[in-house]
Amino acid sequence: MMSERGYHHGDLRNALLVATTELVREHGARGFSVSEAARRVGVSSSAPYRHFPDRDAMLAAAALTGFRELEERFASLPALKAFTDTAAQIATEYLRFAREDPARFEVMFAHGIDKTKHQDLLRQTFRVQERFEATLSRCLRSAETTPRAAELWSLAHGVAALATGGNVQHILPEARISALADSTARAWARGVQ
Q: For the chain, give every domain's residue range.
A: 1-52, 63-192
CATH topology match: 1-52 vs 63-192: no
Q: How far apart are CA 80 and CA 190, in angstroms?
A: 16
Q: Which residues contact 36 (CB under 8 A, 6 or more apart)?
A: 19, 23
Question: What fold does the segment set 63-192 form as a domain?
Answer: Tetracycline Repressor; domain 2 (1.10.357)
Question: Is the predicted pLDDT of residue 193 greater than 80, yes or no?
Answer: no
Could you say which architecture CATH assigns to the domain 1-52? Orthogonal Bundle (1.10)
Query: If pLDDT is split at 50, 70 and 90, which confidence band does 144 have?
Result: confident
pTM of the model: 0.86
Tell me what the mean pLDDT of segment 106-126 comes to.
91
Query: If pLDDT is split at 50, 70 and 90, which confidence band does 141 have?
Result: confident
Query: If pLDDT is split at 50, 70 and 90, which confidence band does 9 have?
Result: low
